[in-house]
Amino acid sequence: PAGPGGVTVPRAGLKKFALPPDYSDIIFPERTKLKFMDKVPAVPKVKREPRQLRDIRGPSQEATDFIQGQYGILALGGGYLHWGHFEMIRLTIGRSMDPKSMFAIWRVPAPSKPVTKKSLGHRMGGGKGPIDHYVTAVKSGRLVVEVGGRCEFGEVLPFLTQVANKLPFPALPVSRQSLQKMRQEEEEKRLNNQNPWTFERVVTGNMLGMRKYLSPYDLRLKGRFWGKFYLRHRV
């Protein structure tokens, strides 16, 4: 307020104290650090499996929502995680988090899919190669790890981005609120799209005979997925 001479003296007002966050409803698991994942499952597989790349394609149906933690890494593309990736995640998160106040849990199973590799320098033919290593398949939209505890998103973000950049597929650190916001925005985008022609409409109506050039899977994927890639900018 201006004084009697019209002189205003700028100064700080009352300090408003924000209440500290309430961590009362957090349940810690028995082991706060990430479990060690085996390179090879306890019963190694004898029969070699066909490639089945459909376990990479399309949106994920499992582990799409948070269970225990508040923050996690969301996969934005499909890919295979092998033992090296698991060790990297386990060690980076174990090194950067405080086991007394934070916990982390796996949202992907241990590697169980056998991947064969022929020895180097041989010609084609001679049958399928022997099993080389085991991997887990991850589809887009799946959570890889979850982190929780008495911590804020800002504390967890640095090492989660570090991990997310090293994964074989594009990944993003998320919190419960940011994931919900992302899904809301997607929905809003879908609703307020001004383009009357959508991929879904064209495919379901087979307009202009487009299905000749599209896969039958495109009915389900609706133009948002291409191979293992997730096209985030598409509606």
Minimum gap (Å) between residue 61 Cβ and other proteins: 17
Residue 184 or 215 having the CB closest to other proteins: 215
Minimum gap (Å) between residue 3 Cβ and other proteins: 4
Residue 28 or 229 having the CB closest to other proteins: 229
Q: Which residues bind other proteins (CB under 8 A)?
A: 1-4, 9, 11, 13-14, 16-17, 53-54, 56-57, 78, 189, 192-195, 197-199, 202, 210, 212-215, 217, 223, 226-229, 233-235
Minimum gap (Å) between residue 57 Cβ and other proteins: 5
C-alpha angle 198/202/206, rounded to 5°?
170
Question: Would you say how long the chain is, in residues?
Answer: 235
C-alpha angle 161/167/171, rounded to 5°?
55
Element at 175 (helix H, strand E): strand 171-175
- Residues ≥6 apart with Cβ < 8 Å to 26: 70, 148, 149, 150
Rounded CA separation 76/79 (Å): 10
Task: For 56-164, list the strands marked E by DSSP.
Answer: 71-75, 79-82, 102-106, 113-116, 131-138, 143-149
Residue 90 or 228 having the CB closest to other proteins: 228
Residue 78 or 114 having the CB closest to other proteins: 78
Residue 83 or 229 having the CB closest to other proteins: 229
Minimum gap (Å) between residue 204 Cβ and other proteins: 12
